[in-house]
Amino acid sequence: MKKALAFDIGGTKIYSTIIDETGKIVGEIDKFSTPKTLDGIKDILKTQVQKYEKEVDVIAIATAGAVNNENTAVIGSTGNLVEGYYTIEFPKLSAKRVFIENDANAAAWAEYKIGASRGTDVSVMLTLGTGVGGGIIINNKLLKGKSGAAGEMHFKMYPDKRRKCTCGSYDCFEIYASGTALKLDAEEALNDKNVTTYDVIDGVKNGDKKMIEILNRWQRDIMIGIKGLANLFDPDCVVLSGSMAQFVDVKKIEEEVNADIVTSPTSIRLATAGNYSGMIGAALLALAKEGV
Question: Interface with a copy of itself by CB under 8 A: which residues?
Answer: 66, 75-76, 120-122, 134, 136, 138-139, 141, 143-159, 167-169, 172, 176, 220-221, 224-225, 227-229, 231-236, 260, 262-264, 266
Nearer to a copy of itself, 33 or 158 (CB): 158
Task: Quote the least distance from Cβ 234 to a copy of itself, whole Å.
Answer: 2
Q: How many residues does the chain have?
A: 292
Which of 118, 154 has the CB closer to a copy of itself?
Answer: 154
CB of 115 to a copy of itself, least distance (A): 18
Q: Shortest approach of a copy of itself to residue 61 CB, angstroms? A: 21
CB of 75 to a copy of itself, least distance (A): 7
Comparison of 162 and 205: residue with beta carbon closer to a copy of itself: 162
DSSP 165-232: -TTSSBSBTHHHHSHHHHHHHHHHHHT-TT--HHHHHHHHHTT-HHHHHHHHHHHHHHHHHHHHHHHH
Compare residues 150 and 201 and give the one whose CB is closer to a copy of itself: 150
With CA atoms as reference, report the closest residue to 181 among 168, 192, 190, 171: 171
Q: In whole angstroms, how close is the CB of 69 to a copy of itself at the nearest point?
A: 9
177 alpha carbon, distance to own chain's centre: 13
Provide, rounded to whole angstroms, the least separation between the CB of residue 96 and a copy of itself: 28
Task: Classify 70 in phi/psi space as left (phi over 0), alpha (psi -120 to 50) or beta.
Answer: alpha
Please give the Cα distance from 133 to 149 (Å, whole number): 11
C-beta of residue 124 within 8 angstroms of C-beta of residue 233: yes
Closest by Cα among 28, 27, 32, 19 to 58: 19
For a copy of itself, the closer of residues 80 and 275 by Cβ is 80
Identity of the residue, 25 or 224, whose beta carbon is nearer to a copy of itself in the bound complex: 224
237-241 and 141-142 beta bridge pairing: unpaired
